[in-house]
Amino acid sequence: MLNLESPDFQGTLNMNALQSIPINNRRWSALALTTPGVTVDTAGYGLISVRGISTLLNNVEIDGADDNQAFFAEERGRTREAYSTAGSSVREFAINTGVYSAEYGRAAGGVVTSVTKSGTNQLHGQAYFYDRESNWNAMNDYAFVTTLVNGVNVKSHIKPEDLRKIYGFTAGGALIKDKLFWIYTYDQHTHVFPVLGVPYNPLQFYTLPQTALTTGETCNTTTGALAGAPSAPSTTQMPALWPRARGSAMFRPPTTGAS
């Protein structure tokens, strides 16, 4: 289709496309990747780059209002929360990738604009629940723990806990028929991030204390004080700690001492 009215290069997605195209995080702006010239940020934060320009030089608007996070110069909520506006409340959105008019501005990259839904004379609504769990995933070649068995390091695969749940509802209707309408959207996104701690040096990490005293050493059975031990080098050693196979991170024991 040729645009004979303006030089804008714009891709528009309506409500049908928003509901039909599958996206991992239900972030409506993620569908901007369907527009030519738009790619995802390689740093892993989910920002979009338009025509190879920095991801911080885009402008995002919702119903004509600013939706930019001023401090980080990015879409509001982009890397600090799931999203700022639920996808079920967006009716359509468009992304202008170049030669857009002066009414937008404030961007050297792209301009992402969206229009939210409105209530109607009839009462309408929808409810949704999306569940993604690590229990349903296949094993990952990089997710394993190392244990010391009879002096030998043994690797075994595990599934770090990864839970993603998105649920909510949208309802709308009329307060005054044909004149005043209402709409309400509730959206909840919870995510338990998988964290895997692997020992930097399993042999050192799993080294157990000696079972017997060496020649010349004595131990006070009341206080536990050790006497007669040879002087050790001045080093700082962190205790060996090992978390659950599915859980939080760990401390890595230092490999060099500190005076």
Let me know whether 130 and 81 are in one domain: no
Q: Are residues 94 and 142 in the same domain?
A: no
Position 240 pLDDT exceeds 50: no
Q: What is the CATH number of the domain that holds 89?
A: 2.170.130.10
Residue 232 resides in a domain: no
* Together in a domain, 23 and 55: yes
3 state SS of 245: coil
> How many domains does the chain contain in total?
2
**Contact predicate 96/36, CB 8 Å:** no
Q: Are the CB atoms for 199 and 206 separated by under 8 Å? A: yes
Residue range 240-254: average pLDDT? Answer: 42
Helix (H), strand (E) counts: the chain? 2, 16
Which of 165, 192, 219 is a domain's end point?
192
pLDDT digits (tens, 9 = 90+) for 102-150: 777 778 888 888 888 889 999 999 999 988 888 888 887 778 777 777 7
pLDDT value of position 91: 87
101 and 132 in a single domain? The answer is no
Per-residue pLDDT of 146-197, as tens digits, reads 777 777 778 888 888 888 898 999 999 999 999 999 999 998 888 888 877 7
Beta bridge partners of 224: none
Residue 172 included in any domain: yes
Single out the residue in 192, 215, 234 at which a domain terminates: 192
Q: Where are the alpha helices (DSSP H) in the chain?
A: 15-20, 202-205
Same domain membership, residue 147 and residue 78? no
Does a structural domain hold residue 29? Answer: yes
pLDDT category at 204 given cuts 50, 70, 90 is: low
Task: Name the residue type at position 141.
Answer: D
> What's the number of CA atoms in the CB half-sphere (13 Å) around residue 58?
32
| Residue 50 covered by a domain | yes
Final residue in a domain of this structure, among 84, 116, 148: 116
pTM of the full structure: 0.61
pLDDT in tens, 10-49: 777 777 877 788 777 777 777 788 888 888 877 656 678 8
Contacts of 50 (CB under 8 A, 6+ apart): 37, 38, 58, 95, 97, 98, 109, 110
Give the Cα-Cα-Cα angle 46, 131, 119 (nearest 5 degrees): 80
106 shares its domain with 149: no
Q: Is 81 part of any domain?
A: yes
DSSP letters for 63-100: TTEE-EETTTTEETTTTTSS-SS-GGGEEEEEEEEES-
Domain-located, residue 227: no
Q: Does residue 129 share a domain with residue 83?
A: no
Residues of the domain holding 172? 124-192
